[in-house]
Amino acid sequence: MRPLFEIINGVRRAEAAQLAEEDTIWALIDGLPPEQKIPVEDVRSPKKEIDVSQPRELQRWLNVRDGMAQQPDLLPPIVVRRGSRGARISDVAVVKLV
């Protein structure tokens, strides 16, 4: 069984990778080099939603989403630790809360 990873930093990048149909994403495991590619499906998010209701948050999301779609290897790696807590990335929603 492959290990699962909990996101410490990088939920937007992981969600953008999933939406761009990337199989893997660059990650720092326990925040330590070297960067490694890990399966997106093995990543768990501490949050179930990415709130884009504020203009600044919407722009952050659009920048990450577009960057992942165009040149995913240029984005910073996500930071993860081994663990299975949280939501599957495929279950994370990008929402505009009012």
Cα–chain center distance at 25: 8
Element (H, E) at 60: helix 55-70
Domain boundaries, the chain: 5-95
* pLDDT tens per residue, range 4-36: 999 999 999 999 999 999 999 999 999 888 999
Indicate the pTM of the whole model.
0.93
87 with 47: CB under 8 angstroms?
yes
* pLDDT tens per residue, range 26-85: 999 998 889 999 999 999 999 999 999 999 999 999 999 999 999 999 999 999 999 999
Tell me: cis bond preceding 34? Omega within 30 of 0 counts.
yes
Copy the structure tokens of residue 68: 């992942």
Residue 98 pLDDT = 64
Residue 3 pLDDT = 94
